[in-house]
Amino acid sequence: MALSKKKKILIAVAGLIVVAVGVKVVFGGNKTPVGMMVSTSFVEKQDVEEVLKLKAVLEGTENTEVVSKLHYEVKELLVKEGDKVKKGQLLAVLDSSDLTKQISLSKGEQALLEMQQKELLEERQVDYDKAKEDYDSIKALFDIKAASQSELDAAKRKLDNISSENGVAILTASEKQTLENTKRRVSIQAETLQDCKICSMIDGTVTRVNTKVGRFADETEDDKPMFVIENIDKLQMKVLVNETDIAKILLGQKVEITADILGGEIVEGVVSRISPTGESKDSNSTERVIPVYIEVVGTNEKLIAGITAKATIHIAKAEQTLTVPYEAVSELEDGATVVYVVNEDNTIHIVPVTIGLETDLLIQIQEGELTEGQQIVLNPSLGLTEGMTVIPQ
């Protein structure tokens, strides 16, 4: 497991400080002991648990924002914040009186157009039948050389100029489009009329109402949705996990949830969903994070949607395992992870290790030639080399 970028930076800075101190000791007064001063600690066996602590706002496991693009006034407001609603329940009604008049006019126009086109087709059929009869007569005369080619061509043009299909009169493309446009206008107006009834799309609780009677539906307070509906019977947190930590998160992991509103009480949670894609942490950051959803187990009457809560995700734990302080582990330029051991003769022995669980203070040693009680260097200098003599502090 590689060390974090933060850890590498801390090591580098601390290393410069230790080098400076060591130089002072070596080249100081006449009685200065030979060797570089180093801060040390010891390898210990103890229980260790890695956790990830994150903050987020509690929200319903299902929520929806109800909006309207219609520039119609709110005529009736049928719910208030805190009301429980069912999917499809009416929340508000918009003033559709003008729209109703428009629909009536449009339907009248459609009916009139359909009647006119029906009459047109009847007349066109009569014209077609007459033109066909004339053509057939002239064709018969032409066949016996009793009519000229120009007469036959003229009869054919007259017949072809009448819109028909298999002997039946039909509407022209333009006429069909005119009727289609009228029907479509009526259909759109009917849909708009239906949209004047603002309904909930889910079962839940009305947590926000940002409109009022007399206000236009598309002009809400601060451009917020007209209503926010949440299923707050089940709460969740959407936490943002860093790329370097996401591999540690698994579905079903236990989570401890705390909040100021709970006092010292701890509520159980569980990792319920891990987003398949990452996103920017915020608009001003290049850091990438992955949304992870934590569901509150059971119910707690103190917890409410909209408050900030803290989540402690339990990654893994190990009992009576070898550990070293966080500051004792370094990563070399070649990528090797090492610990600097101080031998009994105060010389340095560099030990490659494989690390496991990490906490704010400790790192688990999974592999490496370390034993309990060994003295190790904290914040080792980059100048420390194998066999170098040091002065432990």
Domains 5-50+320-392 and 63-95+196-229 share a fold: no
Q: For residue 23, is pLDDT > 50? A: no
What is the residue-averaged pLDDT of the chain?
Answer: 90
Cα(148)–Cα(143) distance, rounded to whole angstroms?
Answer: 10
Fold observed for domain 5-50+320-392: 2.40.420
Q: pLDDT by residue (tens digit) across 154-191?
A: 999 999 999 999 999 999 999 999 999 999 999 999 99
Q: pLDDT by residue (tens digit) across 258-268?
A: 999 999 999 99
End-to-end CA distance of the chain: 29
Question: 205, 151, 188: which is closest to 70 by C-alpha?
Answer: 188
Domain ranges of the chain: 5-50+320-392, 54-61+231-316, 63-95+196-229, 98-195
Average pLDDT over residues 2-27: 44
Q: pLDDT by residue (tens digit) across 276-333?
A: 999 988 878 788 999 999 999 988 888 988 899 999 999 989 999 999 999 999 999 8
Q: For domain 54-61+231-316, is the CATH number 2.40.30.170?
A: yes
Q: Is the pTM of this model over 0.75?
A: no
Radius of gyration (Cα) for the chain, nearest Å? 41
Cα(212)–Cα(214) distance, rounded to whole angstroms?
Answer: 6
Spatial neighbors of 140 by CB under 8 A, at least 6 apart, are none
Fold observed for domain 63-95+196-229: OB fold (Dihydrolipoamide Acetyltransferase, E2P) (2.40.50)
